[in-house]
């Protein structure tokens, strides 16, 4: 299973799945390992080239690989199959309390970090701006700082709000909330509903309350999800074994990382998936009566 960098959640996802699969190796004869990789795009390429059987990929990259769009133009993989989605990596807005920002529309005329060039955050911000008919000019300042720099700049009162496409809880956001009075801002409304309806790789997402100082209640937003993918060429029994290992031990799986804590089975088999489900996964979901 292809994962991501060793400090990231994708690596933990792969290691966690393998840990559960390998408890039953004597019975199933399926052995699992999850090396560190270059994440989504690298994993999708490795699956297409048959160098890996499975991988973790952000849901929008799953869509592009299956449909041959974006940087997968001319490299469409008809054999790509979805297994399940994992945690959301929602578009997240955190604002200084004194900036009086209660929703996304309140960012007009404010100093906002819109994401560093080439990042998923910047890409999602562009999609939202286009959906609302806005540009960067709506903001008093549109800065492009890296995630590691955002917290201190906001807490020094040089920004009113920061944005980040990320799984929760997150270190940079924890630092910001601990260093100055700030809170998460919901990203909702008609334009967002339409984005989710029009793009299979987006889904609604809820950031649980209590993860960050100043945000006690859950906050509604939307975004991409981390997903587990494979190829139609991978044997159905092997995929079934992996899916069974996770969902037969679901409570144990959810304890392996804070980002998994709020996962729900019925959402994981449909949220933000673009490629068709693998037959081995479908077999297990039907056995459980989920399909």
**The pLDDT of residue 167:** 87
Of 194, 193, 201, 198, the residue nearest 223 (C-alpha): 201
**The pLDDT of residue 5:** 87
**The pLDDT of residue 117:** 86
**The pLDDT of residue 115:** 92
pLDDT tens sequence across 79-101: 999 999 999 999 999 999 999 99
Answer yes or no: are the C-beta atoms of 76 and 256 closer than 8 Å. no
Which pTM value belongs to this model? 0.87
Residue for token pair 């929703």: 103
Q: Give me the domains of the chain, ranges plus CATH numbers.
A: 9-87+225-287 (3.40.190.10), 89-223 (3.40.190.10)
**The pLDDT of residue 8:** 82
Using a 10 angstrom Cβ sphere, with 0-12 exposed, 13-18 middle and 19 or more buried, the burial of residue 116 is middle
Answer yes or no: are the C-beta atoms of 62 and 273 closer than 8 Å. yes
In 3-state terms the chain splits into helix, strand, coil percentages (rounded to 5) of: 40, 20, 35
Answer yes or no: are the C-beta atoms of 90 and 226 closer than 8 Å. no
**The pLDDT of residue 123:** 87
Question: What would the two tokens of residue 214 be?
Answer: 């100043």
Of 275, 228, 279, the residue nearest 16 (C-alpha): 228
Q: How far apart are CA 240 and CA 69, in angstroms?
A: 29
Question: What would the two tokens of residue 165 be?
Answer: 């496409």
Which residues in the chain land under pLDDT 70?
none
């Amino acid at each position: 299973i292809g994962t991501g960098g060793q400090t990231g959640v994708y690596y933990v996802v792969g290691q966690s799945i393998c840990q559960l699969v390998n408890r039953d190796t004597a019975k199933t004869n399926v052995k699992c390992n999850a090396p560190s990789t270059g994440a989504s795009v690298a994993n999708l390429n490795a699956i297409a080239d048959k160098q890996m059987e499975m991988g973790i990929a952000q849901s929008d990259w799953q869509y592009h690989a299956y449909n041959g769009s974006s940087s997968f133009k001319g490299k469409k993989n008809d054999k790509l199959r979805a297994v399940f989605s994992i945690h959301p990596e929602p578009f997240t807005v955190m604002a200084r309390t004194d900036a009086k920002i209660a929703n996304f529309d309140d960012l007009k005329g404010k100093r906002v970090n819109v994401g560093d060039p080439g990042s998923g955050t910047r890409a999602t911000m562009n999609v939202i701006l286009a959906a609302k008919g806005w540009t960067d000019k709506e903001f008093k300042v549109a800065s492009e700082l890296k995630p590691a720099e955002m917290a201190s700049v906001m807490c020094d009162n040089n920004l009113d709000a920061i944005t980040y496409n990320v799984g929760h809880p997150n270190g940079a956001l924890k630092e910001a909330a601990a260093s100055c009075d700030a809170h998460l801002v919901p990203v909702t409304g008609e334009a967002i509903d339409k984005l989710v309806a029009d793009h299979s790789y987006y889904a609604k997402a809820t950031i649980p309350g209590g993860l960050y100082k100043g945000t006690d209640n859950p906050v509604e937003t939307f975004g991409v999800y981390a997903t587990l993918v494979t190829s139609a060429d991978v044997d159905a029994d092997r995929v079934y074994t992996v899916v069974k290992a996770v969902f037969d031990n679901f409570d144990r799986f959810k304890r392996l990382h804070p980002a998994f804590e709020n996962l729900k089975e019925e959402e994981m088999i449909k949220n933000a998936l673009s490629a068709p489900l693998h037959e081995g996964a479908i077999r297990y979901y039907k056995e459980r009566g989920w399909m």
